[in-house]
Amino acid sequence: MKNVMENMDKHDQRIAQMTFASVYPHYVTKVEKKGRTKEELHAVIQWLTGFDDAALEKLIAEKVTFETFFQRATLHPNATSITGMICGYRIEDIENPLTQQVRYLDKVVDELAKGRKLEKIMRTGS
């Protein structure tokens, strides 16, 4: 059990130190390959984090880590309704708050790429 915990700690630390700028182009490629737009990507990121286009550009230019990215974010109150599997993990069971927030972002990008409607991704309505 100790090894599992050590591996999770290393995993969480690696995610915290990754830069948003290093992952962002992959998000753009992923959604555009599936016929979605950068504007739609920005819409779901803004919904989740509160960052508008100018703020995203600044964060990318600063090469902030995911830790800093989410420290500066204002997470949407409905973010906790993002559930399911992403990268082999059940989002609602992730104990590290930062890792969970990064997985929220991965999940909404994934849903966008899979063709889900923006209203559904942004968990509006019932």
In terms of C-beta density within 10 A (0-12 exposed, 13-18 middle, 19 or more buried), how is residue 36 classed? Answer: buried
In this prediction, residue 40 carries a pLDDT of: 98
Residue 28 lies in a domain: yes
* Structure token pair of residue 59: 């964060």
Res. 88: pLDDT tops 90 = no
Q: pLDDT tens across 24-77, in order?
A: 999 999 999 999 999 999 999 999 999 999 999 999 999 999 999 999 999 999
Residue 4 scores a pLDDT above 60: no
Domain carrying residue 105: 2-121
pTM (2 d.p.): 0.91
pLDDT at 93: 94
Phi-psi region of 32 (alpha: psi -120 to 50; beta: other; left: phi over 0): alpha
Report the percent of the chain where pLDDT is more than 70. Answer: 93
- Answer yes or no: is pLDDT of 120 > 60: yes
Question: Would 62 be classed as within a structural domain?
Answer: yes
State the total domains in the chain. Answer: 1
